[in-house]
């Protein structure tokens, strides 16, 4: 960042529809594999949209005792598991750190919806006595952050941010600001959501934002394509360890990337539609660049929000042009949601990690299914085939229902 303490990424943890752990996920991304499939966890025949990007092989047992896992919602389990991965990846295993020096900033968009539906069902069917004594501590939205702190023994500030689909990005951005200002030297940060239930899919279908390409699941998420018809809901967790750069260097930690800037704005426009001018999102991008002390021309790559909904892709394209000017036409841009679907509260943090890995390996993954570009989405969205290129500085964007916008600028550790 331009001033204050410098913030670096030293640990990564992922649970995604393409795999559990960083390298299985990245292997799937590089192979251009879709994580979208028909829903099988419940009877979806009544629903207009019957496809999702699920994590079918998730088992918390290696990371959480069975007794503790039973007292956590699926989303909280994912947050704890991904956080353990990230902390271990950073070389900060139990007993190797002062617990008061590590904070937690983890959020969720839809919260413990599995538990909420189960407990409400028990209540309506059998009455108050059938409600679990653990219901409240399982469903309150701060519990992913709270349980990560409890299970990992982290005693720095523990916070929950809920900004819908911008949650993961905002958690990372606010955590970086916390380190930069000297509040805490290390923060475990990111987002999580596990909200693939019949009710949630019915509710999103009523909003008319889910793809109905049920007969072609792997082709359903198609950001910036003329024939896109909505997003595909997914689940997962993306957690990073952010650290004061001087502290990381002193302990010989691996450094994946440096967080240079963070910008956030509100559309103040509509509960679901992004601002049609693109100006608020553009302002968030410019704020992130200003904090990084860089001009738009410094960017080598942009990971877009790219939901595959008719409105988002068009107006995000407009925002990118407003923010970056002529450089927008010379910049490779892609959408990770074309491969893993929309992970809601985890989307921004999983896409941040995707950007980190793109910087690490010099690779821009393809935007899957971009076969017939929308004339109003006329930038270089890396259709169908990925590219190898050196990436020094990159940006990742997140937008959300309610008008939340977030943008993060990060760089290769040797680039600044």
Q: Concatenate the DSSP letters of all residues of 171-232 into one string.
A: HHHHHHHHHHTTS-SEEEEEEEE----HHHHHHHHHTT-B---TT-GGGT--TTBTT---B-
How far is CA 238 from its chain centroid?
A: 6
Number of folded domains in the chain?
2
Its pTM stands at: 0.97
The answer to whether residues 175 and 302 belong to one domain is no
305, 365, 404, 412: the active-site residue? 305
What DSSP state is assigned to residue 31? T
**Active site residue: 165, 171, 365, 412, which one?**
165
Residue 404 among the catalytic residues: no
Question: Annotated catalytic, 330?
Answer: no
Residue keyed to tokens 């309610």:
402
Point out the catalytic residue in the list 342, 365, 404, 412: 342
The CATH number assigned to the domain holding 183 equals: 3.40.47.10
User: What's the confidence (pLDDT) of residue 1?
Assistant: 45
CA distance 319 to 376: 12
Do residues 56 and 163 both lie within one domain? Answer: yes
Closest CA to 391 of 303, 261, 309, 329: 303
Residue 3's pLDDT is what? 62
Q: What does the alpha-carbon distance between residue 159 and residue 143 come to, in Å, rounded to a whole number?
A: 10
pLDDT of residue 73: 96
Q: Does the active-site annotation cover 305?
A: yes
Q: How many residues can be counted in the chain?
A: 416
d(CA 211, CA 220): 6
Question: pLDDT under 50 in the chain at which residues?
Answer: 1-2
Residue 111 placed within a domain: yes
pLDDT digits (tens, 9 = 90+) for 119-165: 999 999 999 999 999 999 999 999 999 999 999 999 999 999 999 99
Cβ atoms within 10 A of the Cβ of 96, count?
Answer: 10
Q: Which residue among 250, 275, 309 closes a domain?
A: 250
Judgement on whether residues 116 and 237 belong to the same structural domain of the protein: yes
Q: What is the pLDDT of residues 36-64, one digit of tens each?
A: 999 999 999 999 999 999 999 999 999 99
Contacts of 31 (CB under 8 A, 6+ apart): none
Residue 93 makes CB contacts below 8 A (sequence gap 6+) with 87
Do 57 and 158 lie in one domain? The reply is yes
């Amino acid at each position: 960042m331009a001033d204050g303490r410098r913030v670096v990424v030293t640990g990564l943890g992922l649970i995604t529809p393409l795999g559990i752990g960083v390298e299985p996920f990245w292997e799937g991304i590089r192979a251009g594999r879709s994580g979208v499939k028909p829903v099988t966890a419940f009877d979806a025949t009544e629903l207009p949209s019957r496809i999702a990007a699920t994590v079918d092989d998730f088992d918390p047992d290696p990371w959480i005792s069975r007794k503790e896992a039973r007292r956590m919602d699926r989303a909280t389990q994912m947050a704890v598991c991904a956080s353990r991965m990230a902390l271990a990846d950073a070389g900060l295993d139990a007993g190797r750190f002062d617990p008061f020096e590590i904070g937690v900033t983890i959020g969720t968009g839809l919260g413990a919806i599995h538990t909420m539906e189960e407990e409400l069902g028990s209540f309506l069917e059998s009455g108050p006595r059938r409600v679990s004594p653990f219901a409240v501590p399982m469903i309150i939205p701060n519990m992913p952050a709270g349980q990560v702190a409890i299970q990992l023994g982290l005693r720095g500030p523990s916070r929950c941010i809920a900004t819908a689909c911008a949650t993961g990005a905002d958690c990372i951005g606010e955590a970086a600001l916390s380190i930069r200002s000297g509040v805490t030297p290390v923060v475990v940060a990111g987002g999580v959501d596990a909200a693939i239930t019949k009710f949630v899919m019915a509710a999103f279908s009523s909003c008319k934002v889910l793809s109905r390409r049920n007969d072609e699941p792997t082709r359903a998420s198609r950001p910036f394509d003329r024939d896109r018809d909505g997003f595909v809901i997914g689940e997962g967790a993306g957690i990073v360890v952010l650290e004061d750069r001087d502290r990381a260097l002193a302990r010989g930690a691996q450094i994946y990337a440096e967080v240079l800037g963070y910008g956030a704005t509100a559309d103040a426009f509509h509960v679901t539609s992004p601002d049609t001018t693109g100006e608020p999102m553009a302002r968030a991008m410019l704020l992130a660049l200003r904090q990084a002390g860089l001009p738009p021309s410094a960017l080598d790559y942009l990971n877009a929000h790219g939901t595959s909904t008719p409105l988002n892709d068009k107006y995000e394209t407009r925002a990118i042009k407003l923010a970056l000017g002529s450089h927008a036409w010379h910049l490779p841009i892609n959408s990770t949601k074309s491969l893993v679907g929309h992970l809601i509260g985890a989307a921004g943090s999983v896409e941040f990690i995707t950007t980190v890995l793109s910087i690490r390996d010099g690779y821009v993954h393809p935007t899957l299914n971009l076969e017939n570009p929308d004339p109003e989405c006329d930038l270089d969205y890396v259709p169908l085939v990925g590219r190898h290129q050196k990436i020094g500085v990159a940006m990742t964007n997140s937008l959300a229902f309610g008008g939340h916008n977030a943008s993060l600028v990060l760089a290769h550790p040797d680039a600044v």
